[in-house]
Amino acid sequence: MEPPSSSSHAQDLDVAHWESPGFPGNFPQSAFETAPEILVEDRRWRSYVTGVETAVRRALAACAGVGLQPGSVVLSCDRVVKRLNGAHRGKHKPTNVLTFEPPPGFPGGDIILAFETVLREAQKAGRPVRNHLMHLVIHGTLHLAGYDHHHAGEAREMEMLESRLLSRLGVPNPWKPRS
């Protein structure tokens, strides 16, 4: 799936322009290795998750070594996610998290979360919004790393990995029923 043009301008860069005598041939991959950008588009995230950027960074750090790290994590709202979901997936409704793979040859990708949906899901499950946010950041990062949940076996593998990564953060397993 192509990322929305407004969320990533990397496809517009002329890599040859950036090459220099110090970088013969291809531009070095290490030049792209930076911390993911965290954009808080909807300020309500800050009301429900103290230190929201720290929570996102901790979730991303738990995924280190699993695979592709995102270039950005956008904390947005249902309206924006609904528009993107309709435009890129043909589903005209909000969802908790959308993941967009990077253009070929570029690292990263985008993870976009919908505030109202995440809040509603956390409240319904009786979980802190912070924990649900960290779970969904891990979930999106695993999608970027090639994991999916279209089939039962894939879903179970992804859920087990999510619960192991969340345990590193002290977050209870979201797949285990609460007593």
pLDDT averaged over 10-residue windows placed end to end, the chain, 179 residues: 38 34 44 79 98 97 88 97 96 96 88 98 96 97 89 88 95 79
Task: Specify the pLDDT at position 171.
Answer: 96
Task: Specify the pLDDT at position 178.
Answer: 62
Task: Specify the pLDDT at position 61.
Answer: 94
Looking at the chain, how many residues does it have?
179
Task: Specify the pLDDT at position 179.
Answer: 56
Task: Specify the pLDDT at position 175.
Answer: 76
Task: Specify the pLDDT at position 33.
Answer: 57
Alpha carbons 120 and 97: distance in angstroms, whole number:
13
Q: Is the dihedral of CA 52, 108, 138, 44 positive or negative?
A: positive
Alpha carbons 115 and 94: distance in angstroms, whole number:
10
Task: Specify the pLDDT at position 104.
Answer: 87
